[in-house]
């Protein structure tokens, strides 16, 4: 039996539980970077332009807690994982699969986390020799304080940090900085960091106060066009002349998990100029990011064998208690949702507070473990999520629509962008998202009529192949 707590505030995202042989154990919140509402800059009209968001997460699971279950009726063993929506949010689960990594027993393996500015997939597996990790020579924060003791060992003591939303004014934003001297790594075959850290977003009200501070400054004519509300996280390396150089955007420092700290790897290979002998990096964050441990791995990447297991997925409602959520719209119907989670394709399982997705990962495809090898497990998942106004939501209503999608510039996205209107996507909306929550009956009837219009336009497209018919589909969908 799983014990859940339905709560609101503080953390976010679907909560991950795994079966440990006796009950379900809480692991972490997933897809923190899939939050909808990241802000980019203020335009010349005083409007906020939204940008960023990355639904991917790669969660390393504790192998000692993950136990096999048996489906006696169907004759197979499986790993049992549950994604439960504890928080008052709307989630859009795109895909989830189990990654099983066989590796030499004398090393460990880690994945990395994602940066919310980059929408890409970051699913590499890195080998780490934890017995030979190096400690940085020095570590200082934005105030020049020595924080090397905090990051030298994994002991639950974190570096002090500040939250940018507590900045004194719109033109005096306070940022976290961590400067690391890694020493002379000139002869290192590879350079990777092993980091244990977390982000604490803090309460929601200071976030709204921060936005209001910008609104008031803009009304007074003080904010230039293009001013960023909160700078995205970034990492720099020092060149031989002592100048800081920002690393390429697709290699930027990930944002750690919230609520529960996690350990992840960061690949630094190829980022330093070839003529440096002092390997220094500087990590800058607007949000309250703190670190418990940072180690340096200079061992070469070793060969590993990676197996991917697709889930058998069942979507279930809250089986006890109630939720006071006012989320509304057309959510995914309960039952078997396996077809929706096999690809990252903007075809989601859409749920709200109290909903949960049961994921069974059959072990039948796994070969026997070779001598001298160990097996590690990761859950790779892609999910967006939406908070209600007043509790981190801003710029949109607490409704299912508009739906996010992989190629959007940000959320909310401008009128020039739209959720895909292909036959596959429209058919998905019509067939799967039929659970109306807090929707007036008249609206349900109107939606059904719109879906019929779209279906007819799609038939015309299939029959004649006219570009005009495709345009009709898009216009009908956007209008309604």
Contact 283, 237 (CB under 8 A): no
Which residues sit opposite 376 in a β-bridge? 101
- Confidence (pLDDT) at 118: 78
Average pLDDT over residues 66-78: 95
pLDDT band of 447, cuts 50, 70, 90:
low
| Residue with the two structure tokens 């489906």 | 71
Strand partners, 79: 68, 361
Largest CA distance in the chain: 70
Quick one: pLDDT band at residue 5, thresholds 50, 70, 90? Answer: very low
Work out the average pLDDT over 153-172: 96
Residues 390 and 351 in one domain: yes
| Inside any domain, residue 158 | yes
Which pLDDT score is estimated for 274?
A: 94
Residues 183 and 201 placed together within one structural domain of the fold: yes
Give the mean pLDDT of 243-272: 94
Rounded CA-CA distance 400/386 in Å is: 9
- 445 pLDDT band, cuts 50/70/90, is low
Domain hosting 245: range is 126-208+220-303
Q: Is residue 47 part of a domain?
A: yes
| 140 lies in the same domain as 59 | no
| Statement: residue 429 has pLDDT above 90 | yes
Q: Residue 112 falls within a domain, yes or no?
A: no
Query: Is the pLDDT assigned to residue 477 strictly greater than 70?
Result: no
For the chain, the average pLDDT equals 91
**Does residue 479 sit within a domain?**
no
Give me the pLDDT at residue 321, please: 72
Q: Cα-Cα-Cα-Cα dihedral of 58, 62, 65, 67, to 10°?
A: 60
Look at residue 476 and tell me whether its pLDDT is greater than 90. Answer: no
Q: What is the pLDDT of residue 119?
A: 77
Same domain assignment for residues 188 and 164: yes
Answer whether residue 433 is part of any domain: no
Q: Does the bond joining 73 to the residue before it have cis omega, within 30 degrees of 0?
A: no
pLDDT at position 4 is 40
Which pair of tokens denotes residue 85? 């929506």
Quote the pLDDT of residue 137. Answer: 98
Q: Which of 247, 273, 303 is the last residue of a domain?
A: 303
Clarify whether residues 249 and 354 are in a common domain: no
CB count in 10 Å sphere of residue 107: 18
Question: Is residue 136 one of the residues assigned to a domain?
Answer: yes
* Burial of 390 per CB tally in 10 Å (0-12, 13-18, 19+): exposed
- Helix 441-464 to helix 423-432 angle (10° resolution) is 150
Domains held by the chain: number: 2
The verdict on 173 and 281 lying in the same domain is yes
Q: Which residue has the higher pLDDT, 480 or 262?
A: 262
Residues 421/474, Cβ–Cβ less than 8 Å = yes
Mean pLDDT of the region 394-398: 96
Using CA atoms, how far apart are residues 158 and 262, in angstroms rounded to an integer?
13
pLDDT tens per residue, range 315-346 = 999 877 778 899 999 999 999 999 999 999 99
Of 121 and 23, more confident = 23
Q: How many CB atoms lie within 10 A of CB 166?
A: 13
Q: How confident is the model at residue 480 (pLDDT cuts 50, 70, 90)?
A: low
Residues 29-39 pLDDT 10s: 999 999 999 99
172 with 55, same domain? no
Banded pLDDT at 19 (limits 50, 70, 90): very high
DSSP state at residue 135: P
Looking at residues 120-129, what average pLDDT do you find?
92
For residues 167 and 274, state if they share a domain. Answer: yes
> Do 88 and 164 have their domain in common?
no
446 domain residue, yes or no: no
Whether the CB-CB separation of 479 and 427 falls below 8 Å is answered with no
Cα gap 113→379, rounded to integer Å: 12
Q: Point out the domain boundary residue: 248, 280, 303.
A: 303
Q: Using one digit for the tens of pLDDT, what is the confidence trace for 195-233?
A: 999 999 999 999 999 999 999 999 999 999 999 999 989
Q: Which pLDDT value is given to residue 459?
A: 62
Q: Please compute the mean of the pLDDT values over residues 368-375 and round it to a whole number.
A: 96
Q: What are the residues facing 91 on neighbouring strands?
A: 351, 385
- Per-residue pLDDT at 465 exceeds 60: no
Cα 159 from Cα 147, distance rounded (Å): 6
**CATH code of 290's domain:** 2.60.120
Whether residue 80 sits in one domain with residue 37: yes
Phi, psi of 213 (to 5 degrees): -60, -40
One domain, residues 161 and 295: yes
Question: What's the token pair of residue 133?
Answer: 């990790």
Mean pLDDT of 375-388: 98
pLDDT value of position 6: 40
* The pairing of beta strand 280-285 with beta strand 305-309: unpaired
Which residue's structure tokens are 């659970």? 435
pLDDT tops 90 at residue 13 = no
Residue 469 has pLDDT above 70, yes or no: no
- The yes-or-no verdict on residue 363 having pLDDT over 70 is yes
Q: Take residue 248 and report the two structure tokens written for it.
A: 């390429």
78 with 188, same domain: the answer is: no
Check whether 9 has a pLDDT greater than 50. Answer: no
Q: Note whether residue 173 is domain-resident.
A: yes
Which residue, 303, 332, 350, sits at the end of a domain? 303
């Amino acid at each position: 039996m799983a014990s859940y707590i339905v709560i609101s505030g503080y953390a976010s995202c679907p909560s991950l539980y795994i079966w440990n042989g006796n009950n379900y154990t809480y692991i972490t919140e997933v897809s923190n970077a899939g939050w909808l509402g990241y802000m980019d800059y203020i335009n010349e009209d005083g409007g906020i332009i939204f940008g960023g968001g990355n639904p991917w997460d790669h969660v390393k699971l504790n192998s000692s807690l993950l136990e096999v279950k048996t489906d006696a009726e169907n004759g197979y063993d499986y790993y049992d994982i549950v994604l439960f929506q504890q928080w008052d949010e709307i989630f859009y689960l795109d895909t989830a699969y189990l990654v099983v990594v066989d590796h030499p027993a004398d090393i460990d393996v880690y994945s990395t986390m994602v940066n919310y500015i980059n929408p890409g997939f970051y699913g590499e597996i890195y080998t780490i020799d934890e017995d030979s990790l190096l400690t940085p020579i020095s570590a200082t924060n934005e105030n020049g304080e020595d924080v090397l003791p905090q990051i030298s060992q994994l002991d639950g003591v974190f570096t002090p940090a500040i939250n940018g939303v507590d900045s004194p004014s719109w033109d005096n934003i306070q940022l976290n900085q961590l400067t690391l001297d890694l020493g002379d790594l000139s002869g290192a075959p590879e350079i990777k960091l092993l980091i244990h850290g977390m982000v604490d977003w803090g309460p929601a009200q200071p976030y709204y106060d921060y936005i209001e501070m910008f609104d008031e400054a803009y009304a007074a004519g003080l904010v230039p066009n293009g001013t960023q509300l909160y700078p995205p996280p970034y990492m720099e390396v020092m060149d031989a002349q002592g100048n800081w150089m920002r690393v390429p955007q697709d290699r930027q420092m990930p944002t750690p998990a919230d609520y529960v700290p996690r350990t992840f790897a960061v690949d630094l290979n190829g980022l330093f100029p070839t003529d440096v002998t002092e390997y220094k990096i500087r990590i800058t964050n607007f949000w309250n990011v703190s670190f418990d441990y940072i180690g340096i791995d200079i061992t070469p990447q070793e060969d590993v064998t990676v197996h991917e297991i697709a889930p058998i997925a069942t979507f279930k409602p809250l089986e006890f208690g109630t939720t006071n959520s006012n989320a509304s719209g057309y959510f995914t119907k309960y039952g078997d949702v396996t077809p929706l989670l096999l690809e990252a394709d903007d075809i989601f399982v859409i749920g709200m507070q109290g909903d949960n997705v049961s994921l069974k990962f059959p072990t039948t495809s796994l070969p026997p473990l070779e001598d001298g090898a160990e097996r590690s497990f990761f859950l790779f998942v892609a999910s967006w999520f939406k908070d209600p106004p007043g509790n981190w939501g801003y710029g949109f209503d607490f409704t299912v629509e508009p739906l996010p999608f992989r190629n959007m510039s940000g959320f909310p996205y401008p009128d020039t962008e739209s959720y895909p209107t292909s036959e596959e996507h429209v058919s998905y909306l019509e067939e799967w998202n039929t659970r109306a929550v807090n929707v007036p009956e008249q609206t349900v009837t109107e939606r059904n009529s719109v879906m019929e219009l779209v279906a007819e336009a799609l038939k015309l497209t299939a029959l004649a192949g006219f570009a005009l018919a495709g345009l009709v589909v898009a216009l009908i969908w956007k209008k309604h």
